[in-house]
Structure 1
Amino acid sequence: MRKRSIDVLLYMLSLLPFWILYGISDALYYVLFYVIRYRKHVVFDNLKNSFPEKSEQERYQLAKKFYRFFPDLVIEAIKMRTMSAEQVLERIELLNPEEVYRHFEDNKGVIGVTAHYGNWELGIYSLSLMTNNPRLVIYKPLNDKAFNEVYNGLRRRFGATMVPMKQILRHVVRLKDMPYISMFVADQTPTYQDSDYFMEFLNQETLVYTGTERIARLTKNPVVYCHIGRKTKRGHYFCKFTTLVENPDDYQEHEITQLHNRFTEQIIRGQPEYWLWTHRRWKRKRRI
């Protein structure tokens, strides 16, 4: 019943035109930043620890830019409930899909990796529309089951298969020796049971997932980064693919994990305001 109520509400709101939704986003910025101060201590602490070389004023301006962008993500996620394929392709440009297609032509699967950067959710739609080969989106289930089901329903609209992290192995084994793409959002915070590997990320010792590397080594498939960046026009994005690893066997343990996290860090440093700074990314500390 609750799932149905959430879905109906999302559907009704998604029927509003973008100009109204962006007006709501503008109002949300003031509410989130100045009134309820949504996770403001988390955002400011994350920015301070990530960019100690910047002045307090510079970090304050970065925070304001992030809070202006964050409500856009919310309303764009709502709009995804009824967006057509044509609207998706109008809003996110695939700059070089041939970088993925060339691996498909070699009859290889692609281990995709991305981050909570730009509009990664809209990136799922563009990924679904660029090929008819199997598209797996690896996700960490939410604690709220009703919202989790609604959210995954949105993500599946154009053919993606949602795969919980703990089930990825059975899926890639089933797809052995055929072209497919599995997309990992690899900048989430793992539990101590899921990973014990720490590395420096944005000037901080960070517990990171190693699942992307493990699956790449198991399947011998290339690792391709999907960079979802924002264009200057509001609500418009680009997707650029970069093959980070052609042959996983050429790398030592943890090198692939280091590689894609460093790539993410480079993107964040370029335009920090488009990363999800409200996330408590560094809540796991090394156990003594």
Structure 2
Amino acid sequence: MLFKRLRTGGKILVDHLVYGLGLGVLTILRLLPRSSLRLFSKGLGTALFYFISDFRKTALTNLALAFPEKSFAERYQIARQSVQQMIITFVELATVDKFAKHIDEMIAIATSEDAPEGFFPEEVSSQQELDHFFSRLDRQEGAILFCGHQANWELPFLYITKRYPGLAFAKPVKNRRLNQKIISLRESFQGKIVPPQNAINQALRALHRGEVVGIVGDQVLLSSEYSYPLFGSQAFTTTSPALLAYKTKKTVIAVAIYRKPNGNYLVVPSKAFHANTELSIRESTEQLMDRLMRFLEKGITCKPEQWLWLHKRWKRKLRHKFKRRYAFSHILIIVKGTSLQALQRFLIEFGEFYADASLSLAIIGAADTVLANSFAPYSLQFFSSEEELLAAPNFFPAIVDLFGLSRKTRLHYKRTGSRKIFTRNELKDSLLQKQSLIQSFHKLLRRVDTRSRKG
């Protein structure tokens, strides 16, 4: 009982310290002009990019998956800029009460007449259509806004709720007092922030009252049955905006937002989308989500450095349960072509072990002849030498090295985004003793986890 009280008291003390520190930082930031805030944020973002490897590695592997045609240098620059943009956004949110009254001056809306970069005119609202949209809001007809984590994704909601009441979803911060402070900043005007739990019911009521509902819906949602081929790779995505549109028959507008060099913003609104209520709810929501995500994808392509590449967007629904750090969705296994027959059992069991992950098999040198169905779970890549591996884009958080890579190649994978490289030495016991791969790999992961805790 005493220990429980001490632990509770310690948690309360830590919460107060975190809140006090956060409040102190907010106070200091408010004293700085916007230009200084941007410079501070850019510098902090650069430091975080280099010192927090998780940020860097996630961004690099995501970018390799989305833009394999770009050079590593280009992707590296985009990754660094993405972290900088994220910090600028957080600092702007922290000081939003300082500049909220000037939000109309900070945001420009591009219509089809402006021919915004990255879009065809027929994809963007015209000035007449935009005026009609705002007229409907004036009549309290309600609407749904959909955007992604681009530039400052908070601003469109603040901009619209300066004139109209609205509701948006946001995950709460663990520190209760700090969360209340952040929510108060997000609710600077007529907006209301609600947690995702039971948010759909609240959104339905808000739409029936004629309010605006804002959804930032580009993060992974593994509980969703819907996936969109974002940059060619399936990405599980919420269907909330389309579901709300189907149930209420309200208009949906997708929004792309860009930060301009002077610190102001450009917002690009899509044409008005509507759910096809003649289709089944599943068919209609998937059709509408495809259109919304396609608009978002084009916006990201236009200014990739302004999207949040730090999110593990292409997570897979893995069949087996893993510790979080080993729940890899993309894995590369590297083997010698002459070892395929000897490794056939290993590869079959590995495919079962990481069922539903995206598995690639890099085969170096002349290959043995084996049954094709042995490689059914794998995407095959053929290389004449180890050196050729260095030219291929690396979107693999995990590498299984059954080839015996040189130190140079292992360092290449770590530098370009891989979190873990399982070496042949780590796996040789199971290979030599012919243990079940499932059992030996579980044992290996536990052993690695123990070493990491000791470190």
**Quick check: TM above 0.5?**
yes
Q: Which has the higher contact order (CA 8 A, sep 6+)?
A: 1
Matched, 1:110 2:138: no
Q: 2:46 corresponds to which residue?
A: 30
Structure 1 residue 207: deviation in Å?
Answer: 0.9
Match of 1:59 among 72, 75, 78: 75
Q: Tell whether the 8 Å contact from 2:275 to 2:288 is kept in structure 1 after alignment.
A: no
Q: Secondary structure at the match of 2:197?
A: helix
1:49 lines up with 2:65 in the alignment: yes
CA distance in 1, matches of 2:138, 2:91: 37
Q: Distance in 2 between matches of 1:286 and 1:36?
A: 26
Please state if 1:245 is matched with 2:268: no
Q: Which amino acid aligns with 1:159?
A: Q
Aligned to 2:302: 270
Aligned amino acid, residue 90 of structure 1:
E
Instruction: Provide the residue aligned with 2:291 in structure 1.
Output: 259
CA contact (8 A) 2:150 2:308 kept: yes
TM-score of the superposition, structure 1-length normalised? 0.86
Deviates more, 1:51-60 or 1:270-279: 51-60
Larger Rg: 2
Instruction: State the partner residue of 1:83.
Output: 99
CA contact (8 A) 2:206 2:212 kept: no
CA contact (8 A) 1:99 1:243 kept: no
Post-superposition, which runs of at least 4 consecutive aligned residues in structure 1 deviate over 6 A? none
Change (3 A) 1:41 1:83: same
SS at match of 1:166: coil
Shift of 1:286: 5.7
In the superposition, relative to structure 1, how do residues 79 and 103 fare at CA in structure 2: closer, same or farther (>3 Å)? same
| Structure 1 residue ranges without an equivalent (≥5) | none
Q: CA deviation at 1:237?
A: 0.3
Q: What is the aligned counterpart of 2:249 among 198, 208, 220? A: 220
Contact 1:110 1:221 in 2 (8 A): yes
* SS of residue in 2 equivalent to 1:279: coil
1:266: how far off? Answer: 0.9
SS at match of 2:190: coil
Q: Report which stretch shifted further, 73-82 or 255-264.
A: 73-82
* CA distance 1:38–1:23, change in 2 (3 Å): farther
The structural deviation recorded for 1:176 is: 5.5
Percent identity, please: 27
1:126 to 146, 159, 171: 159
**Shift in CA distance, 15/94, structure 1 to aligned 2, threshold 3 Å:** farther
The residue aligned with 2:168 is 137
* Alignment RMSD: 2.5
What does residue 164 of structure 1 align with?
Answer: 195
> Does the aligned pair in 1 maintain the 2:252–2:272 contact within 8 Å?
yes
Amino acid at match of 2:303: Q
1:34/1:9 Cα in 2 relative to 1: closer, same or farther (>3 Å)? closer
- Superposed CA deviations along residues 2-55 of structure 1, whole A, max 9, x for unmatched, are 546533531332222223323322422431233444611001000001111222
Q: Which position in structure 2 is the counterpart of 1:211? A: 240
Residue 209 of structure 1 deviates from its aligned partner by 0.6
Q: Report deviation, 1:211.
A: 1.2
Q: Is the 8 A contact 2:167 2:192 kept in 1?
A: yes
Deviation at 1:156, TM superposition (A): 0.4
The residue aligned with 2:414 is none
Distance 2:132 2:170 in 1: 24
Q: Assess, with a 3 A threshold, how the Cα gap between structure 1 residues 198 and 6 changes in structure 2: closer, same or farther.
A: same
Looking at structure 2, the residues matched to 241 and 148 of structure 1 have their Cα atoms a distance apart, in angstroms, of 30
Name the residue aligned to 2:231: 202
Q: What is aligned with 1:71?
A: 87
State the Cα deviation string for residues 48-88 of structure 1 (Å, max 9, x = none): 011112222221232233244333223322221422412x2
User: Quick check: 2:270–2:295 contact (8 Å CA) kept in 1?
Assistant: no
Given the two structures, how large is their TM-score scaled by the length of structure 2? 0.56
Distance 1:274 1:153 in 2: 25
Structure 2, unaligned runs of 5 or more: 1-15, 111-126, 320-355, 357-455
Structure 1 residues 43 and 144: CA distance shift in structure 2, 3 A: farther
1:172, distance to aligned residue in structure 2 (A)? 3.8
Alignment CA distance shift 1:20-1:106 (3 Å) = closer
**Contact kept? 1:199, 1:208, Cα under 8 Å:** yes
